[in-house]
Structure 1
Amino acid sequence: MWGCVISRFSRISARNLFTMRLKTTEFQSLFTEGLKGLAGLFEKHQYELRIAGGAVRDLLSGKRPEDVDFATTATPEQMKSLFQAAGIRMINNKGEKHGTITARLHNENFEVTTLRVDVQTDGRHAEVEFTMDWQKDAERRDLTINSMFLGLDGTLYDYFKGYEDLQNHRVRFVGSPEQRIQEDFLRILRYFRFYGRVALKPDEHEPETLAAIKEHGQGLAFISGERIWVELKKIVVGNHAAHLLELIYKMELAQYIGLPPGGDVEGMKVVWQNSQHLSPKPITVLAALLRCPEEVEKMDIRLKMSREEKSLGLFLVKHRRDLCRREKQPDALRPFTDFIIDSRDPDCQSKVCELLKYQGEDKLLSELSCWSNPRFPLSGHDLRKIGITSGKEIGTTLQTLRDIWKKSHYKMDKDELLSHVKL
């Protein structure tokens, strides 16, 4: 992959940092009317503006980033002044105290953050001070591959060998892993997440990094469940997820991030191996660690999952053994379709699809994905028309007819079913 990307760069001289010129089509595609307007405004007022962080990493990997963040030498007050003078609307001022201003140009939002240094941190939050020094801003970032900047002329500014690490599929903290982790304990999970995105092999961690994670892992107990859940979900859908989850248990981190102590790691590894090519939802893989519904409830209390995620987790733990392919049944899909038809849950079919991913049932998943839930053709009103008036008798008769209908592969129509009613 790297050969085709490198061939599209032209190198320029460097003094205290590594630089090169990027001229890829992915980079050029970012220059919408909105970005051109933003760039022109900052240039007019002589403030530097560069692409920062993950977007630079993606562009160097030959990908067009979904989100692009910008860094600048302008302070928040200076940005507000120039945007107001240009009649540009600013939105979402929650990030202003950390130096972030969001401007809207040509129906696009642009998030621009003043260069900053962390003057005080408690492992969760940081007090920042603004700077005009690009290297100091890079120093406060978590990983080398996330610490690069890209000028709008295509010049890469790399202070900590992030590009070299990206080429070598290596994930390293900027400077001391111990210091970076103590600044924000969530960086432990961010390290695992990016390892799953960048590393080629599952177990090529630097010993110094693992030692720092082991030493300070208990700090994750002070991180909010919402922040942990965001990172954990990204770890589970990345490469090497089974290895990374096993490592989380080996390093005794599970207890701090909402995963059950003594989770079924071996079972999880089997589920991940069988389902990774089917794009399971994160909770589908994590459910393999959970032994009972109570563990789903405890995990939800810590991580504050969405209602849908919790419901799916409970469903998988409850039905992963009793709802499965019957070896001697000619129609292997039948138990699943019957279950969906009998269920009153409008999301039942999607949950059963996740169950089939959990079980590694590729063929049945493909069949169920194409299956349309048929409508039972009878109602209590139809039975009243033929003289059945007792509510209890109507319920019993409907269930009997529903069983007959299911045995017909859901093909019998109303008249055929009513012919089975004995008055």
Structure 2
Amino acid sequence: MDRLDNAPWLFEASVQRVFAAIEQDGDQARAVGGAVRNAILGVPVSDIDIATTARPEAVLERARDAGLKAIGTGIDHGTVTIVSAGAPYEVTTLREDVETFGRQARVVFGTDWERDARRRDFTMNALYVDRHGDLFDPLGGLEDCRSGRVRFIGDAEQRIREDYLRILRFFRIHAAYGSGVPDEDALIACTHQRDGLRHLSAERVGAEMKKLASARGAAQSVQIMEDCGLLEITTGGISRTRDFAALRSLDDQAPETSEPPLCFAMLAGFVDEDLTRIGERFRLSNAEKKRMHQALQAARWFQNHWPEAGLEHALHDHGRKAAVDGLLMAWAYERANAQVWESDSGFIEALSALRELAVPDFPIAGADLLALGVKPGPDVGVALNSLRQAWKASGYRLSKADLIGVAAGSLRPSL
């Protein structure tokens, strides 16, 4: 039997305590899914899900008897959340489908590990490990995992019809853990069933697309989606896949290039209206929408003004975060379109400077002008704007005292 040797999390006291609480009266428990897959691949593990032969009511009772907090978060579907040492673990009773109706299925609880595995989505997600590190691989997921092959369990089209989100999950999992050309049967099934994407909620699509866009192989997966007619259905418009690939080619230069708002701005941002559409289509937060728009505006600034205008102007006009985003987008545009108006070394130096330079802070406020005798009202705004332009023209070097002197000089004839 294969063993999972690269899983220190499995032997932590908090995890073993959960196993010990569940495994009574002959019941078994095994970690399953993403945690096992990631451990095999040497990828960090965040969430640990556990499958068990124990009924959910027994899981609740045993966990509480062991002094652990237990919540019936999805008890009707067999899921109990156990909290051990502050960490939550989702524990789900083995299940098997009796009938399926799209996303809905009539299930029964069981004790058969292989039947439980057959109702999961991909073979690499149907791997189990017991508390001692022994692997259980009923469907050949271990070899698929090691070879980077994302393969549906059973008939791919049937699995997709059960939940059309599995189309996006396929591309997301391939982008994160796959290698080479995607599984042919899976790709054909996703293409045949692509119209089902139109029936998914914006929240589910957005959550999946965020994970896909930030995965290491996102550029390849997104291009394949485009080639198969899936991407336009998903985003609701034309995408800039070449520009997106260029952005992700800068992953080694900046962590921002894998952050979803910047990815979406690059992928779909021809004009601001496109970003508004993506924001609604993926149900992005207001902060995410704002970042996309600010990034696109800053990118235009860099294309039109830099390097003639200094980086302090970008920081003043857009702020540090948007200026960095905009520079990365402008850099990616150049890479994608082979324009030679700035070298990589110039962008690298500019990126470093944007992270280190102080954001220019206009040192004058309306109260300062009122103290000089400027009458309250529109004249204050006019004077402030004139002083700001003088401050910018000086390269942001005029101090508050300098600017007060300029203001006092311009006001003297009328005083």
Residue of structure 1 in register with 2:15 after alignment: 35
Residue of structure 2 in register with 1:123 after alignment: 102
Task: Let me know the Cα RMSD of the aligned residues.
Answer: 2.3
Verify the 8 A CA contact 1:121 1:184 in the aligned structure 2: no
Q: 2:382 aligns with which of 376, 385, 396?
A: 396
Deviations 1:309-350 (A, max 9, x none): 112223344453244363562x6413312313xxxxxxx432
Q: 2:312 aligns with which of 334, 340, 348?
A: 334
Verify the 8 A CA contact 2:56 2:79 in the aligned structure 1: yes
What is the Cα deviation at residue 379 of structure 1?
Answer: 1.4
Aligned amino acid, residue 34 of structure 1: S
Residue of structure 1 in register with 2:32 after alignment: 52
What is the Cα deviation at residue 59 of structure 1?
Answer: 1.2
User: Aligned pair count?
Assistant: 391
Residue of structure 1 in register with 2:344 after alignment: none
Q: d(CA) in 1 for partners of 2:307 and 2:197? A: 48
Verify the 8 A CA contact 2:300 2:330 in the aligned structure 1: no
Describe the SS at the equivalent of 1:94. strand
Residue of structure 2 in register with 1:22 after alignment: 4
Q: 2:356 aligns with which of 341, 353, 370?
A: 370
Deviations 1:41-72 (A, max 9, x none): 22343310111001001111234411111000
Identity %: 31
Residue of structure 1 in register with 2:79 after alignment: 100
Q: d(CA) in 2 for partners of 1:261 and 1:63? A: 34
Distance 1:299 1:392, change over 3 A: same
Q: d(CA) in 1 for partners of 2:222 and 2:44? A: 29
Q: d(CA) in 1 for partners of 2:277 and 2:167? A: 22
Q: 1:414 aligns with which of 397, 400, 403?
A: 400
Describe the SS at the equivalent of 2:2. strand
What is the Cα deviation at residue 217 of structure 1?
Answer: 1.1
Q: Is 2:179 the partner of 1:178? A: no
Verify the 8 A CA contact 1:76 1:100 in the aligned structure 2: yes
Q: Is 2:266 the partner of 1:285? A: no
Verify the 8 A CA contact 1:285 1:358 in the aligned structure 2: no
The alignment's TM-score, normalised by the length of structure 1, stands at 0.85
Verify the 8 A CA contact 1:271 1:359 in the aligned structure 2: no
The alignment's TM-score, normalised by the length of structure 2, stands at 0.87
319-328 vs 376-385, which moves further: 319-328
Residue of structure 1 in register with 2:329 after alignment: 358
Q: Is 2:114 the partner of 1:114? A: no
Q: Is 2:114 the partner of 1:138? A: no
Verify the 8 A CA contact 1:144 1:160 in the aligned structure 2: yes
Can you give the 5+ residue segments of structure 2 that lack an aligned partner in the other structure?
332-346
Verify the 8 A CA contact 2:298 2:327 in the aligned structure 1: no
Distance 1:57 1:147, change over 3 A: same
Can you give the 5+ residue segments of structure 1 that lack an aligned partner in the other structure?
1-18, 341-347
Residue of structure 2 in register with 1:10 after alignment: none
Describe the SS at the equivalent of 1:245. helix
Describe the SS at the equivalent of 2:81. strand
What is the Cα deviation at residue 390 of structure 1?
Answer: 4.2
Verify the 8 A CA contact 1:274 1:358 in the aligned structure 2: no
Q: d(CA) in 2 for partners of 1:311 and 1:407? A: 29
Distance 1:45 1:366, change over 3 A: farther
Verify the 8 A CA contact 1:401 1:417 in the aligned structure 2: yes
Verify the 8 A CA contact 1:260 1:295 in the aligned structure 2: no
Residue of structure 2 in register with 1:155 after alignment: 134
Describe the SS at the equivalent of 2:144. helix
Q: d(CA) in 1 for partners of 2:303 and 2:384? A: 26
Q: Is 2:175 the partner of 1:196? A: yes
Distance 1:135 1:323, change over 3 A: same
Q: d(CA) in 1 for partners of 2:253 and 2:123? A: 30
Distance 1:210 1:401, change over 3 A: same
Q: Is 2:239 the partner of 1:253? A: no
Residue of structure 1 in register with 2:145 after alignment: 166
404-413 vs 131-140, which moves further: 404-413
